[in-house]
Structure 1
Amino acid sequence: MNEPTISFSIHDDKQVEMKKILTTVYDALRQKGYNPINQIVGYILSEDPTYITTHNNARSLIRRVDRDELLQALVKSYLDD
């Protein structure tokens, strides 16, 4: 009996992980009273981790995301919608 082949994409897994991290960072910044969008943009442009709070381990999390991949995902998302 043949079972259907299940395919998965590493690219999709990376996108899901990136979104989880960004959401966690966004929430941590908001909880600390920062403007999350401004702080995340500041980090992306400068790669200076001090734009991101250490609250809820947000600073460590954001550093696990490759900035180039993040920018590509953001531009793609913006243009696809």
Structure 2
Amino acid sequence: MANISNTQYFKVNTDPEYRVKEILDTVYDAMAEKGYNPVNQIVGYIMSGDPTYITSYKNARSMIMKVERDELVEELLKEYIKNRTWEQK
């Protein structure tokens, strides 16, 4: 049994073939062009894993499915922390 007093490390191995930031940009733009709310749709996809939250327009659905959802969350969180939006208020 694992010692629960130790911190567990979570490391995501990113595949250099896929640029998560570029994929998020492309998916966001495709969703906006089709008239969807990109934030709501991407959150729906991340939370459920259901790819139908993402439009197939401009190949966005197949692109986002090439990246693990935890990688998407990691990238979004890194950008959020980097921008330190809570300090700008």
TM-score by length of 2: 0.70
Once the two structures are TM-superposed, the CA of residue 79 in structure 1 deviates from its matched residue by: 1.7
Q: C-alpha distance in 1, partners of 2:21/2:78?
A: 14
Q: C-alpha distance in 2, partners of 1:29/1:73?
A: 19
Residue in 2 that maps onto 1:21: 23
Q: C-alpha distance in 2, partners of 1:65/1:56?
A: 16
TM-score by length of 1: 0.76
What is the aligned length?
71
What percent of counterpart residues are identical? Answer: 57
Once the two structures are TM-superposed, the CA of residue 76 in structure 1 deviates from its matched residue by: 2.1
Specify the SS of the correspondent of 1:72: helix
Gaps of 5+ in 2: 1-12, 84-89
Q: CA RMSD in A?
A: 2.1
